[in-house]
Every structure is written in C-alpha cells, then in structure tokens.
Chains A and B, each alone.
Chain A
Amino acid sequence: MSKFMKKYRVNEIKTSTNLLINLFFIIVSVTCIAPVLLVIAISVTSEQSIRQYGYQFIPSEFSTEAYDYLLRAGDAIWRAYGVSIFVTIVGTILSLAVITLYAYPLSRSSFKYRYQFSFFAFFTMIFGGGLVPWYIVYTQLVPIKNSIWIMIVPYLMNTWYMMIMRTFYKTTVPESIIESARIDGAGEFRTYFTIVLPLCKAGLATVGLFCTLGYWNDFWLPMVFVNNAKNFNIQYLMYQTLIAVQNLLNNSNQISNMTEILANLPSESLRMAIAVISIGPIVLAYPFFQKYFVKGLTIGAVKG
C-alpha cells in the first residue's frame, strides 16, 4: 500500500493546479447548495423582514411563524404530504413487483420468448402515442383520472429499470443454481422467491430507490390528471401555491375567479417552508440514494 502511495505521489498534479481545481469545485459546491440554503433561510424569516429586505441568506429577523402555521392550520399541506407518502410507498412496492417479475423470465436463457418480450417492452421507449391518446385512455378507457391511483399506475412499468434488473439477475444468479433447484424439485416461483430474490437484494434496493425518487418528485401525473384538490400530492400543491401567489402579486392575470383561494393564501415564508418539508425525506435518504444510485448507474452502463 505504502509502495503504491509513493508511486502515486510521483504522478500527482502540481500544488498550484491542485489549489486551482479545489477553488473551482468550492465555487461549484456553493452554487449547488446556496439556492437550497436560501429557501431554508426564507422559511425562517419573518414576513416583516421579507417585505423590507427581500429574501436573505441570513434573516434580519428570525421567526418560526411559517412552521407554527404548518402545525396549526396546515391541513391541506399535510393532506398532500400524506398523499405523497401513500403514493410513494404503495407505488414503489407495486412497481418493484411488476418490474422485477417482468425482468426475471427475460434473464433466463431457457425461456424461448425472452427476446420477443424484451422487444415488447423496449419498443415503448422508441415510439409513443403522445400526450393526447394517453390522456384519453386514462379518462375514458380506464377512468382512474382524479383518483389516487392515477399517480401510481402509469409508472408501474419502467423499461429502463427493467433492463437494469435483468442485467442484475444475469450477472448475480448463475443459471446452474436455478437448474439444480429445479432438479431438486422446486417450482419456478419457489426458486424465484427463495433463491433468486435473496441474491439480488442490491438490485432490488437500486430499482426501489429509483422508483421512490420518481414517485416522490412527480408532479407530471397530478398536473395532467388531477383536478380534485383532495388528491393533490405535495409537489403539485407546491406548484399551485407558487401560481396562486403569482396571481396575487400581479392582479392583471386573467385567472380572477381564484380570489376566494387567494384570500387565505399562505405567506411568503410558508411557501418556502412547504418546499423545505418536501425536500426533507430526500435529504434524510440521501446517503442511501447516493450509494445505490452509483451502483445502479454502473450496472446500467453495462449493457445486458
């Protein structure tokens, strides 16, 4: 080890270059983190001080009124938070089931139709019908528009994650293990649940985290399908909040029938407080995300 280090020392960059690169990445890091810190700072600034000095990194007057309001009267916000939690948990479990089950037969070389079914999934990445037919399918053929399920069903199958999972099965489960289980008299399902899945925990974690992030951060499905305020998720509620304040600030906008809603609008700091609580779970799960994302990315890069 020390020998290697020594060798490496010889091949290191110059001290000045090293300093320069460090300086550059300090600036990059500040650029990445500063807007998030600003939003957190605004959420704990008093309305008075926002009106006077605008948004500041260090609040002129500290205040927790936004969070007090959240605890006291934030029903709609907590409801949306609950919708997001439900959609994320149920959605992740279901889509993990759909994706991993679909990927497994495709990883088996003894399955004759694996190429056909791979193509069946893959073709959807090349061609799609566009927004309108998709919208009409969920409003008229499978009418789950406005229900909570519309935020889960369209993302249940994901070809990209499915391909990652297929590669995972192929590289971690040797066909000979499956074959010997079969000879020992285990059925396909038993082999799958007792032998294959336990070997692929890391793959499950990777795909599961991809799904979790996708569901938690989704605003697209409620934006297209949900009109019913009861089923807004936290992202879409935030979108609505930003638009509503926009309308309040310049009354010239056409949407004037929203006056009732505007009357009990949350304050400046409250809006940012919602953003903060929506980022919360992601920051908590960040170490896991990072670990498994890198793993998933490396596997995804190896084409199966």
Chain B
Amino acid sequence: MDLAVSSAKTIKTSKKKGFFYQLRHQWPLFLMLLPGVVILIINNYIPMFGVIIAFKRYRFHGTFWKSLVKSEWVGFKNFEFFMKTPYAWQMTRNTLLYNFTFIILGLIIPVACAIALTEIRNKRLSKIYQSVAFLPYFLSWIVVSYLAYSMLSIENGFINKSILAPLGIAPVEWYSEPKYWPFILVFFQLWKYTGYNIVVYIAAITGIDPEYYEAAAIDGASKWQQIKHITIPSLQTLMIILTLLAVGRIFNADFGLFYNVPRNSGTLQPATQVIDTYVYNALRNTNDIGMSSAAGTYQAVVGCLTVLTANLIVRKIDKESALF
C-alpha cells in the first residue's frame, strides 16, 4: 500500500517535467509508438496536406513535394467544374438516400431480430440461426458480387432462368435497368451486415440482468411489456451510439457494394453512382485528377463536419458515449 502511494507520488512529480525529460526516461514507450506514428504520417497526415491538390492543376515535377508546390494554383476552379456536372447532385443524393435507408433499416431489423432470437425457446436453434446469419459478414464484396451475378445474370441467372422462365415471364435485363437497383443494393447491404448487427445487439441483451425480467414476470408483465420497458431502454444507449456513428459517416458510401455488385455498369449509374465510386472512376478510369480531388475533398470536408455535429449531439445526450 505504502509502495503504491509513494510510486504514485513519483509518477505525479515526474509528470510535471517536459517532453525531453519524458523522452529520456520513458524512451522504450516512445520507441513502441514509433512504427505507428510513421505509418500514420505517411498514410494519413501527408495526404491531409495533399487536399491542396484540389486547388491546383496538378502536374508531376520530379518529386512529390516539388509537384505539390510547383503545380499551378487554380483556386476553386476544380470545384466549379465538378459542381456544374450533373453527377455532383446525383451522387450526393444517392449517397445520402442510401445511407439514410441503411441507417433506419440497420437499426430496426437487427434490434427486432436480436430480441426475437433471445426469446426462442430452443437455445441451440437460436445459436445456429445466429451463426448462419453472421456468415455473409465474412465474405468479401467481390464474392458477394459473384453471388449477385449467379442470381441476376441475364442468360444463366437463377432468377431469369429458373423462376421467371417457368412462369412464362420474359427475362429481365438486371444489369441495365436502373429501376431495380435501389432494392437490390439495399437487399445486399442488409444481407451482408444484418447478422453482424444482430450479434452486437444480442451481446448487449445478454448483458441485461435477468432479475429484471423475473421481477417483471412475477408482477405479471407480458412479454411485450418486458420488451418495451426493460429490453429497449437497456439497448437505447447502444442504439444511439451506433446510429450516430453511422450518421457521422453519411457522406461515405460502401465502395465495394456500389462498385462491385452492379459491376460498375454505366447504364446503372443514375441509381448506383455514389461519391466514392465517382472519385475512383475519375482517378483510375478517366484519369481526371482535378475532378477526382475536388469530389474527394468535398466529401472529406462535409464528412468531417457531419462527424463533429453527430458527436456534439451525442455529447448533449450522454457525455459518456461521446467519441471525443
């Protein structure tokens, strides 16, 4: 006990000393941080300064830094061009609407399923359902695009060949009809992530003290009343945090879903183009650094503002749950 007190004291006094004192005395800890710091600088911090590329006509001048400085400054020209294209509005609308749908359905469906699964009498069956529903989370979007293709392929797809044909319905050109894609994309998003979210909520439900339910049952509360007055209020914090995290990322779309599942089909773009796929296509397929960096910077700035706003709201509701 004495030892702990005295050591706490030495920690306190040594903490007042400056950076170089700390560096000398705790150098192993600083050394442990070093690899991570280097990676973060290369992978994240230098690209942050690179946002000025969006305000330049970027040309390569031998080295990275030289190019960054020497490229001609064009101000907001890239943004003006980008905002004038019809895509700017289209991709923003798509990104927001899809994410909004995902947030609502990604809240209601997993919570309902998690509650239902914990109520099933046969616990072993409940575990099996969970395991099966969790499986899609582990498959890559490329594999998911294969699964989608096996269902939707125009010549051989299961839906056209084995469901529509026997019914005498003409085959549907799934990969060139934008009107079906909002449903298809929402389906696959739910298909991939619902199991994961169910597991998260079930983990939270199992953390609820069973005595609450026993007491409620003794008092004659029905299942519905128990769910409404015990389960949902206990999950509330988790639901709010997960939702606000998703709201904070509402300008970021899941590239794998929107690029791979529709197989980057041009005719589907009115329904499938989101900011992330536009940025990628502009950089890698049309080689338009100006447009790509303008769209990317626009996304980064608006995205940052929504994260900060979302966090501010969380702080207001529940300070403990705030991220920062």
Interface residues of A (CB under 8 A from B): 7, 10-13, 17-18, 21-22, 24-25, 28-29, 31-33, 35-36, 38-39, 42, 50-51, 53-57, 97-99, 101-102, 104-105, 108-113, 117, 119-122, 124, 126-137, 140-142, 153-154, 156-157, 162, 176, 179, 183, 187-189, 192, 213, 216-220, 223-224, 235-236, 238-239, 242-243, 246, 249, 268, 271-272, 275, 278-279, 282, 286, 289-290, 293-294, 297-298, 301, 303
Contacts and interface: CB of A to CB of B under 8 A. Distances in A.
Contacts of B147: 35-36, 38-39
Given A113-B19, A132-B289, A134-B47, 11 more contacts: A12-B121, A21-B120, A31-B191, A105-B29, A108-B29, A128-B44, A130-B50, A133-B51, A141-B65, A218-B140, A301-B200
Given A25-B129, A29-B129, A97-B35, A133 B121 contact: no
Contacts of B30: 105
Interface residues of B, number: 108
Nearest to B10: A110
B149 A242 contact: yes
Q: Rank and list the top 10 A-B pairs by shortest CB-CB distance, nearest first.
A: A133-B50, A54-B161, A130-B296, A129-B47, A102-B36, A188-B28, A217-B140, A35-B147, A141-B64, A132-B293
Nearest to A249: B155
Given A18-B121, A140-B60, A117 B33 contact: yes
B161 A133 contact: no
Contacts of B51: 129-130, 133
Given A38-B151, A120-B37, A129-B300, A29 B133 contact: yes
B209 interface: no
A220 B37 contact: no
Interface string B21-60: 0100010111011011101101111111111011000101
A297 B200 contact: yes
B146 A238 contact: yes
A303 B3 CA distance: 30
A261 B20 CA distance: 60
Contact of A39 (B113, B150, B214, B263): B150
B78 to A, nearest CB: 10
Q: Is the interface of A mostly helix, strand, loop or mixed?
A: helix
B235 to A, nearest CB: 11
A131 B283 contact: yes
Contact of A213 (B19, B26, B138): B138
Contacts of B320: 303
B142 interface: yes
A280 to B, nearest CB: 11
B250 interface: no
A268 B191 contact: no
Interface string B49-89: 11101100010100111010000000000000000000000
A31 B299 CA distance: 35
Contact of A128 (B42, B48, B67, B199): B48
Contacts of B49: 129, 133
A11 B162 CA distance: 45
B136 A32 contact: yes
B36 A99 contact: yes
A298 B148 CA distance: 32
A273 B280 CA distance: 29
Contacts of A236: 142
Given A13-B121, A130-B297, A141-B64, A36 B135 contact: yes
Given A55-B150, A278-B143, A279-B139, A157 B39 contact: yes
B119 interface: yes
Contact of A28 (B28, B129, B157, B203): B129
Contacts of B160: 54
B102 interface: no
A297 B26 contact: no
A134 B53 CA distance: 11
Nearest to A159: B40
A179 B34 CA distance: 23
B15 interface: yes
B213 interface: yes
Contacts of B35: 97-98, 101-102, 156
B97 interface: no
Given A126-B304, A286-B138, A289-B138, A132 B39 contact: no
Contact of A135 (B36, B255, B283): B283
Contacts of A217: 138-142
Contacts of B134: 290
